[in-house]
Homo-oligomer: A and B are copies of this chain.
Amino acid sequence: MIMLQPQPLTRERFAPYGEVIETLVDRATAMNAANFDRFNDLGTAETDGTGRVAISIVRCRIATSLPYRFDMVERHALGSQAFVPLTPCRFVVVVAPPEESVEAADLRAFVTNGRQGVNYRRGTWHMPLIAFEAGQEFLVIDRAGDAPDCDEHSLEEAVTVAEAW
């Protein structure tokens, strides 16, 4: 059994997989007569040029706890996918680079600080979303199109995400 220890999520660590959606001081610019700080362009919603970018909400029905065992990852080959919590919450993501193939040894786990969202680059392999509290909502920004765009890959060996805090 492979055990993954989640590391604190940072833009640098997550760069091979996508972007972290968070307010970093050095990205702030004034907006609306300085009534707002704008943390601009934290992520890009990518598509393959077909389809469009849709805004959705997902809400957790069944909460998960750590350690958490899974044996399948998925990717969206035609577009990026962002998840941003609609109330502050920590969550765990498990990812592998957007290569054609993936195996358990490629996976890395990250835990957010409660204020971060993630944007998976187009093709990034990831564990399906889990949340630790029922009712938790996330905004989702991803590609919509005529055909489904979700490739699932069964791992040869199950992976367990260890306690993150």
Residues of A within 8 A of B (CB): 19, 21-23, 28, 31-46, 52-62, 64, 82, 84-88, 115, 117, 119, 128-131, 137, 139-141, 144
Contacts and interface: CB of A to CB of B under 8 A. Distances in A.
A14 to B, nearest CB: 14
Contact of A57 (B33, B39, B141): B39
B84 A87 contact: no
Instruction: Identify the 8 closest CB pairs spanning chains A and B, nearest first.
Output: A45-B53, A43-B55, A32-B128, A39-B57, A41-B54, A35-B62, A36-B58, A53-B53
Contacts of A40: 54, 56
A61 to B, nearest CB: 6
Contact of A44 (B43, B53, B128, B140): B53
B137 A35 contact: no
Contacts of A140: 38
